Structure formats: C-alpha cells, structure tokens
Amino acid sequence: MTNSQTVDQMPEVARLARFDLTQRVTAAMADVVEEIDGIATLRAATEARRASAGSHQDLEKTLRRFSDSLAVWSRRLGTPRYPSSDADPYSTSSLSELQRFTYADPNSAPNQAERTGSVEALARARRQLEDVKRAIAAALPPVNDALKTAGQAPLPSPR
C-alpha cells in the first residue's frame, strides 16, 4: 500500500467512524424521544382522568401530583421548546446533551474528546431513561389504586 492509497482511504475511514458515532447517538436520541412521547400520552390520560374526578378530592390531588411528576421526569429527558421563549440556558437534559454530539464535520473522524464525551453522554442517557422508567413504575400503582377506589379504570402502564 502506497502513501497515496492511505491518504485516499483515510477520509472513508473517518466518515465511517463519524457515521458510527452519529448512528449510536441518533438511536439513543430516538429512545429518549420515544419515552418522552410515552410520558406525554400518560400525562394526557392522567389529565383526562383528573378532569373527570369530580367530587373525589383525594383522587384529584393524587392525579395532580402524578401529572406534575410526569412533567418533571419528562423535562429530565428533554427540555421543552416553545416558539415564544428560549430554553433555560443553564439546564441540561439527556436529549440536549446527546444532540451536541451530532454537530461535526462528517468527513472527519471523531476526536478523543468527542469519543469520550459521547460514551459518557450515552451512558448517562441510558441511566436517566432507566431511572425515569423505574420512577414511573413505582408511582403508577398508588395512582391506579386511587382510581380503582373511585371506580375508574386504571391508567395503562408505559412500555
């Protein structure tokens, strides 16, 4: 192999390395977005039940606390963006942290900082996803018990 062949092959190797990093980060971002969507669906169902709670004050309080908790857990995964305002510049979420690793020159291999940072960000995102799933799984049974007591069907478990 001559020196010119090595130079010609290098951009392809760099592109493949960048593509691999981008694929891993994008897959993790998709998992985070999927979980945020699941939380939004569960929160909408919770709010609908809360609106129909009627005279059951204890049920209404339980559903409000659960809905508020779902909002907090969702923000840990991805800070909501509103057209009329900017996100808090001093906060971070799993989604925003992962997204920072998608901006780079596609023709250059990831440098050591990007490789190390992406591995750490991917691990944090996985841990955060698992923490949120565990928190929802732990909070849902008491909410469903309160719904049963009020004569309503339980909320569905997220995936």
Range of the domain at 45: 12-79+90-149
pLDDT at 5 over 60: no
Q: Does residue 25 contact residue 118 with C-beta atoms inside 8 Å?
A: yes
The mean pLDDT value of the chain amounts to 85
Question: Cα Rg for the chain, rounded, in angstroms?
Answer: 22
Give how many domains the chain has, as a whole number.
1
- Does residue 103 fall inside a structural domain? yes
- Does residue 58 fall inside a structural domain? yes
pLDDT in tens, 86-117: 666 666 788 888 888 887 777 788 888 888 99
* pLDDT confidence of residue 95: 86
- Does residue 40 fall inside a structural domain? yes
Task: Check the CA dihedral 62-47-85-136 and report its sign.
Answer: positive
- Does residue 6 fall inside a structural domain? no
- Does residue 61 fall inside a structural domain? yes
- Does residue 155 fall inside a structural domain? no
pLDDT in tens, 46-65: 999 998 887 889 999 999 99
- Does residue 156 fall inside a structural domain? no
- Does residue 27 fall inside a structural domain? yes
